[in-house]
Structure 1
């Protein structure tokens, strides 16, 4: 019987050490496809370096920091976002009643902590551990991490947080305290990206939920190329103007 090839050793990073090339990440025949390295630190320069290369941290309690570069990569083209009729109807009604408001970076800390405490199907814990929260709060203070917040009747009921380098957006996590509130935040992010001509939202890993809203998978090489191109664009100012809703509701593809 032919034996499978041995798994390549996983590189261990010392603080400040460069990442290995992303094509060296473990492949389909390895125990954790997409895993690139372990170790290193979650300081701001390291995280910026990671995201600029299409690498992201993801690990559980009791593990070292693990760095990933998945292949294929799930992405969302803002102009291919599917705004389902029922969600559009609900959002229009809330906007007419002046009950729905989108804020950006108003309460980043509350958003990331809410994401950390949101139960996930098939997961018994969270990967958004206290060191990760502290790291992304530092990224937020550095102007790199941002929150998109759904406020209804004056309450924060859902949202997401993401990373922005130039014109590239890297989605991280979402939370709900009311049905569809995280989808409203994602719709707002899409409208914002369209208004600022930001070409791509990284979704990292494939899920049916994101697929139903228009996300798709692309090869890592293509993702890397498109990400580098987007990062050359100017970064937007992260405030949400209600006029951005016209990018969704008044476009030919938007539901009636």
Structure 2
């Protein structure tokens, strides 16, 4: 286990433990966060606890051509009942991700410090958001870190059925059009799997991340 100091540094991801924990400590400065994502690492911790840095193996990803859009979702998209924007309300999106109730979770890992940190990244053009609107109300969205060839998804929310799926599908279509290589989804969950995401070895993910 590595304990970080004020130096902007991370050990190799191969040093992560079985659970994927690589290091503890440090800060959420833009410089450290950008180095983390470029190195295949992300923060995930609880309010009042030290920052924990993760690099899980395997890694949940979406190869963009493997997106699964069900027939029912195609019908929803074709009805144009939602309006989608990009980077128009980043703070509202991340705040909704923090506050939304999730099955099986008593709280959130998106702390107030995390919100401030990612809003700084957004101001620098590094963190991006997708907003989904219905009757001019923000009803869904997602945010993440944009590395230019890989988009690192962080969290999404939905206030009405399918709104987060609309955000996800819209993001994937946007990334495909811009010739991105991958959408990083970090860790497995069945909802992501239903959209076509799958786990790959960390080494394979790192090769894509580093364009090796």
Note the residue ranges of structure 1 that are not aligned, 5 or more in a row: 1-9, 28-32, 231-256
Q: Output the CA distance in 2 between the equivalents of 1:166 and 1:136.
A: 17
- Is it true that 1:21 corresponds to 2:7 in the alignment? no
TM-aligned CA deviation for residue 76 of structure 1: 0.5
1:11 counterpart residue number: 2
Note the residue ranges of structure 2 that are not aligned, 5 or more in a row: none
TM-aligned CA deviation for residue 229 of structure 1: 1.4
Q: Output the CA distance in 2 between the equivalents of 1:70 and 1:109.
A: 27
1:119 counterpart residue number: 101
Larger Rg: 1
TM-score, normalised to structure 1, is 0.81
> Quick check: 148-157 or 49-58, which moved more?
148-157
Instruction: Give the alignment partner of residue 77 of structure 2, picking from 80, 86, 91.
Output: 91
- Is it true that 1:74 corresponds to 2:56 in the alignment? no
TM-aligned CA deviation for residue 170 of structure 1: 0.2
Q: Find the residue that maps to 1:148 and give its secondary structure.
A: strand
Q: Output the CA distance in 2 between the equivalents of 1:215 and 1:36.
A: 24
TM-score, normalised to structure 2, is 0.97
Q: Output the CA distance in 1 between the equivalents of 2:154 and 2:129.
A: 10
Q: Output the CA distance in 1 between the equivalents of 2:154 and 2:126.
A: 13
Between Structure 1 and Structure 2, how many residues are aligned? 212
More strand by share: 2
Instruction: Give the alignment partner of residue 214 of structure 1, picking from 192, 196, 208.
Output: 196
| 1:1-256 matches, cutoff 5 A | 10-27=1-18, 33-93=19-79, 95=80, 99-229=81-211
TM-aligned CA deviation for residue 213 of structure 1: 0.8
Q: Output the CA distance in 2 between the equivalents of 1:134 and 1:21.
A: 27
> Quick check: 12-21 or 185-194, which moved more?
12-21
- Cα distance per residue 1:138-160 (max 9 Å; x no partner): 00001000000111221111000
**Poorly superposed stretches of 4+, deviation over 3 Å:** none
TM-aligned CA deviation for residue 211 of structure 1: 0.5
Alignment RMSD: 1.0
